């Protein structure tokens, strides 16, 4: 069994998958968003390809724990995805996952241009790994 993690944004979606033993999360790719239907179709292809049984989706809550407008956008995306593919969804608080990844990349002296291409998929891996760690 494998699990997929998503970091859903307005312009990009970070995608990560677990190993078959569900011990580690590996960043897979960053999907540059185009049309909703194309984005969902592509994710459905990945769900099939990797035989994903659960989908972990990061919820970008506000720092005080409240749900903001971005949370609603993420949930709307997931609802549209569920119309195309029935799969178990696990929402996980992703506050500061992107910030944490950005700080790590900056401290590793990764250029701004390179950070932009990898930050979303790495954030998805952080989200997924936090879920996998909870399972242990």
Structure tokens given for 82: 């569920």
Q: Which sequence spans correspond to the domains of the chain?
A: 2-135
Q: What is the pLDDT of residue 97?
A: 67
- CATH topology for 2-135? Nucleotidyltransferase; domain 5 (3.30.420)
Residues 114-132 have pLDDT tens digits of 667 778 898 899 999 999 9
Q: Which of residues 94 and 16 earns the better pLDDT score?
A: 16
Q: What is the pLDDT of residue 106?
A: 73
pLDDT at residue 99 above 70? Answer: no
Beta strands in 36-105 (DSSP E): 52-59, 88-93
Structure tokens given for 117: 């291409």
Q: What is the pLDDT of residue 111?
A: 74
Burial class, 130, CB count within 10 angstroms (exposed 0-12 / middle 13-18 / buried 19+): middle
């Amino acid at each position: 069994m494998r699990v997929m993690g998503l970091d859903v944004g307005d312009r990009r979606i970070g995608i990560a998958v677990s190993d078959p033993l569900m011990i580690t999360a590996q960043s897979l790719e960053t999907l540059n968003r185009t049309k909703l239907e194309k984005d969902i179709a592509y994710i459905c292809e990945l769900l099939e390809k990797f035989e994903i049984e659960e989908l972990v989706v990061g919820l970008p809550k506000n720092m005080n724990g409240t749900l903001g407008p971005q949370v609603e956008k993420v949930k709307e995306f997931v609802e549209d995805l569920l119309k195309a593919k029935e799969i178990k969804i696990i929402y996980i608080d992703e506050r500061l996952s992107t910030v944490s990844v950005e700080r790590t990349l900056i401290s590793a002296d990764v250029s701004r241009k390179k950070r932009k291409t990898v930050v979303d998929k790495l954030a998805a891996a952080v989200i997924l790994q936090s879920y996998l760690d909870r399972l242990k």
